[in-house]
Chains A and B, each alone.
Chain A
Amino acid sequence: MDTFLKQLINGLSLGSIYALIALGYTMVYGIVKLINFAHGDVMMIGAYTGYFVLKAFGATPFGLFMAFIASMVMCAILSLVIERCAYRPLRNAPRLNSLITAIAVELILQNLMRVLPFVGPNPREFPTMPSKVFTLRTAAYPEGLISISNIQLIVIIASAVLMIVLNYVINYTKTGKAMRAVSHDMGASSLMGVSVNRTIAITFVIGSVLAGAGGVLYASAYPQIDPTMGYIPGLKAFVAAVLGGIGSVPGAMIGGVMLGVIETMAKAYLSSQYADAISYSILIIILLVKPAGLLGKKTNVKV
């Protein structure tokens, strides 16, 4: 078995991806109170877009860079379409209806990919660069105390960069301010001259861009892709968002990394078969014990 530190790196790498996806969930929930079920599938489409680009350009750093760009653009456009056609018409409908619609969108995306002739339901190998592992060896640990692969480095660094950019956008730009305002109070924001439709659309886009990047990273780390690949990471990323505090951006980042580490440790030291069940149990426990999550705020309902 790998050392604790090696597992920690594995956890950080996985957690960074969860964080990227969790951000999309948390921002959308914060602004329109919708659990965007389709978000995991947006990540899947990001992965497939990356696949086709890498197949074209080859698995090189340049190819990977182009894959990122392409998948982020693709996911941005996709989420604009989804928001406009499926979610916006139901913004004032009961929450239940939007939730069901989100589930329907998720199914459509998945099954569409199954049906498209150039995609199909069978798993494909995601092109990755040859793996290089950097190991720190010590006398006590000749096998290596801590090691990290080039892919893991890319995952962690790329995620960190994206999260820093996001943090800047949310806290230091006008768009970010608009997003925060609308998530606080949609009506008041619109009275203050904020274009609510545009802000919501931008929120979806930013979330999906991150998910697209996350898809490419996930496929690089776990190179088998198929149309159903988004469902489980999507669900886990949602758990991460709730863990950190749904609606809170730093919460999603922390929750994502935490969940990645917990899951990796559970797989390594407890049981690899039931590790997923442990992750889902975390969701249930958090919602019962501290529903606002680690960084979220408790709201009181007026009777």
Chain B
Amino acid sequence: MKNKVLRNMLIPGIVAVAAVIVPAILIEMNVIDGYTAQIITLGGINAIMAISVNVISGITGQLSLGQAGFQALGAYAVILLTVNCHIPLPISIILSGLIAAFFGFLIGFPTLKLEGDYLAIVTLAFGEIIRIFLVNLKDVTGGPNGKQFSTIFTTSLDHGAMISYLAIIGTLVLIIILLQNFLRSTYGRAILAVREDSIAAKSNGIGVFKYKMTGFVIASFIAGIGGALYAPFIGFIKPDLASFNNSINHLIYVVLGGMGSVTGSVVAAFVLTGLQEVLRFLKDYRLLIYPLILIFVMLFRPQGLLGMKELSFVKTWDKLMGLFKKKAAAKIEVKGEDNE
């Protein structure tokens, strides 16, 4: 039993560490060029946002069209905390996530009392309200023209790309691990029960509002972290960050990857971010690709790529091992036949 537990921790653990360290080294050594590094890192930010949308829409089952609002809050917060309050960047990033989570808690109270379409529209309304405030609080946010944010991410010519990659992909991996731990526990199951059938959930002792709120706050925290990493990485933010269009982009990752599959939405985020770059030659026609993908998925494969399943490195490892063993056994057989 202990061996199995160790193995189940070791395999994903090694993959996680490798995914963070190996490309970072390659970037530093310029084996991966700056442009590609930028795209991969941007994919990482999008993956974090995709996870945020997935947590509230896929896992808790409450469709939110306003997660970009929390991203924007996190982005502006990190700038204000670092520049105005002189808090070191790593700490301001975490604090920004907490600030976004706090707003999530406040916004959750009215929003989560609603269901379905109405809940979705209200999240959209809150996203718009956030955007309007960000545009108009010019003294604090710099207004519609946005705010610059120079940090080591953008100023360091030699190491900026590697630092960005490490910080963002490292955070992404950490979020994935902690989130999976949370979901595969009694708390996670409670949230899933609320999604599956809230009446059955409450009749079996689950406080439905409490767990809807838990999902919503976790999702806004993750979105806040996404924003707090976006600001130093890009170096410049505008109130548009909170727009409905931005929220929809993140939603598309989740719809494609599978509502309810964390790994699915991460994969979809990277794939679509890469696709956007690859298709740059299409210019504005690119903008049609995302919504067309959305419609195709809805019409022909509504559960997305992975549905509610997760990619399991342990299972993949087992399958590969199984294949090796078969091949080795077949070779021994052949050798045995040769000898006869």
Chain A residues with CB under 8 Å of chain B are 33, 35, 86, 89-90, 93-97, 99-101, 103-108, 111-112, 114-115, 121, 231, 235, 238-239, 242, 273-274, 276-277, 280-281, 283-284, 287-288, 291, 303
Contact B294 A283 (CB under 8 A): no
Contact check, A104 vs B291: say whether CB atoms are below 8 A apart.
Answer: yes
Majority DSSP secondary structure for residues of B touching A: helix
Q: Which residue from chain A places its CB closest to the CB of B122 in the assembled complex?
A: A284
Which residues of chain A are near B299, meaning CB under 8 Å? 86, 89-90, 101
The distance from the CB of B226 to the nearest CB of chain A, in whole angstroms, is 21
CB nearest to A107 among chain B residues: B291
* Inter-chain contact A276/B128, CB cutoff 8 Å: yes
A121, A231, A288: which contacts B110 (Cβ < 8 A)? A288
Partner of B248, one of A90, A93, A103, A283: A103
**In the complex the two chains form, what is the Cα distance from A291 to B122 in whole Å?**
12
A112 near B288 with CB under 8 A, answer: yes
Interface string of B114-158 (1 = CB under 8 A from A): 101110111011101100110110000000000000000000000
Excluding A90-B298, A107-B245, A284-B126, 6 further A-B contacts by CB distance (< 8 Å) are A33-B117, A86-B295, A100-B294, A107-B291, A112-B288, A239-B125
B118 touches A97 (CB 8 A): no
Cβ of B251 within 8 Å of any chain A Cβ, yes or no, is yes
A244 to chain B, nearest CB (A): 15
Q: When the two chains form the complex, which single residue of B121, B288, B294 contacts A115, counting CB atoms closer than 8 Å?
A: B288
Partner of B120, one of A89, A99, A112: A99
Beyond A95-B116, A100-B298, A231-B244, is A274–B136 a contact (Cβ under 8 Å)?
Answer: yes
Q: Please state if A100 and B121 are interface contacts (CB–CB under 8 Å).
A: no
Verify B121–A97 contact, CB threshold 8 A: no
Kindly identify which residue among B110, B111, B290 contacts A107, using a CB–CB cutoff of 8 Å: B290
CB distance from B209 to the nearest CB of A (A): 14
Residue of B nearest to A285 (CB): B110
- Whether B169 sits at the interface, judged by CB under 8 Å, is no
Contact A291 B118 (CB under 8 A): yes
Contact A284 B125 (CB under 8 A): yes
The answer to the question of B35 belonging to the interface, with a C-beta cut-off of 8 Å to chain A, is no
Q: Which residues of A contact B133 (CB under 8 A)?
A: 274, 277
Instruction: Say yes or no for B337: interface residue by CB 8 A criterion.
Output: no
Residues on A with beta carbons closer than 8 Å to the beta carbon of B23 = none
Known contacts A115-B285, A276-B132; A287/B248 CB under 8 A: no
List chain B residues, Cβ under 8 A from A100: 251, 255, 294, 298
Minimum CB–CB distance from B299 to chain A (whole Å) comes to 6
Question: Is A273 within 8 A of B136, CB to CB?
Answer: yes
> A291 CA to B306 CA in the complex, in Å?
36
Q: Report whether A115 and B284 are in contact in the complex, using a CB–CB cutoff of 8 Å.
A: yes
9 pairs of residues in contact across A and B, judged by CB atoms under 8 Å:
A93-B302, A97-B298, A103-B65, A103-B248, A107-B290, A235-B128, A239-B125, A284-B126, A287-B122
Bound-state Cα–Cα, A235 to B285, Å: 26
- List residues of chain B with CB within 8 A of the CB of A238: 121
Given contacts A96-B63, A303-B199, contact A277 B114 (CB under 8 A): no
A111 touches B199 (CB 8 A): no
A96 to B65, CA, bound (A): 12
Interface presence of B1 (CB below 8 A): no
Q: A113 to nearest B CB, angstroms?
A: 11
> What's the minimum C-beta distance from B170 to chain A, rounded to whole angstroms?
32
Q: State which residues 230-255 of B face A: CB under 8 Å.
A: 244-245, 248, 251, 255
Query: With A115-B284, A238-B121, A276-B132 in contact, is A97–B302 under 8 Å at CB?
Result: yes
Q: How far is the CA of A36 from the CA of B248 in the complex (A)?
A: 16
- When distances are taken between beta carbons in the complex, the residues of chain B under 8 Å from A303 are 199
B6 interfacial by beta-carbon distance below 8 Å: no
In the docked arrangement, what's the CA distance between A26 and B128, Å?
Answer: 22
Q: Contacting A274 at CB < 8 Å: which of B63, B132, B292, B294?
A: B132
Q: Smallest CB–CB gap between A241 and chain B, Å?
A: 11
Q: If A97-B298, A103-B294, A276-B132 touch, does A111 touch B287 (CB 8 Å cutoff)?
A: yes
- Chain B residues whose C-beta falls within 8 Å of the C-beta of A242 in the assembled complex: 121
Contact of B132 (CB < 8 Å), options: A105, A107, A277, A287: A277
* Nearest CB in chain A to that of B283: its residue: A115
Using known A-B contacts A89-B299, A100-B255, A291-B118, determine if residue A277 contacts B129 with beta carbons closer than 8 Å: yes
Give Cα distance in the complex from A39 to B255, angstroms: 22
- CB distance A108 to B136 under 8 Å? no
B280 smallest CB distance to A (angstroms):
15
Q: What does the 1/0 interface line of B289-323 toward A look like (CB < 8 Å)?
A: 01110110011001000000000000000000000
Contact across chains for B295 and A99 when beta carbons are under 8 A apart: no
* Residues in chain A near residue B244, CB distance under 8 A: 231
Q: Which residue of B lies closest to A108 (CB)?
A: B291
User: Taking the complex as formed, is B113 at the interface, i.e. its CB lies under 8 A from any CB of chain A?
Assistant: yes
Q: A111–B292 Cα gap in the complex (Å)?
A: 11
